[in-house]
Amino acid sequence: MYDLFADFFNSFDVVPVYREDRRCENCGRTYYEFQKSGRLGCSECYKAFEPQVKQALYKMQKGTEHKGKIPSKSSTEILKKRKLSDLKSQLAKAVETEDYEKAAKLHKEIKGLEG
């Protein structure tokens, strides 16, 4: 079985090699062990090595957020729904921070997309 991460870390000089006692508090795995094996020891390792894991993921897939694939037949509708969801989230934040000018612009944009 081929391990995707095993050789990945060796191909980048940017990802630092940690050989000191930097460990996950939950399972004891070191970042160096992660670099060598390509596997984290537990779910807490994501928090313990977050900056390095995010950097590695970004280099592999040009982002750290998974949005899934969009079927070509319904891509316009799905993208519109995602845009509306994002705008509504921004609107809620703007209202929460009392940025009413931004909230008004976002509200107008949402109404325009909703028709």
CA distance 57 to 9: 11
- pLDDT for the residue numbered 4: 55
- pLDDT for the residue numbered 32: 85
Per-residue pLDDT tens over the stretch 11-52: 555 545 544 567 899 999 988 888 888 888 898 988 888 888
pLDDT at 79 over 50: yes
pLDDT at 102 over 90: yes
Question: Cβ neighbours of residue 90 under 8 Å, at least 6 residues apart?
Answer: 102, 106
So where are the chain's domains? 9-61, 72-114
- pLDDT for the residue numbered 99: 93
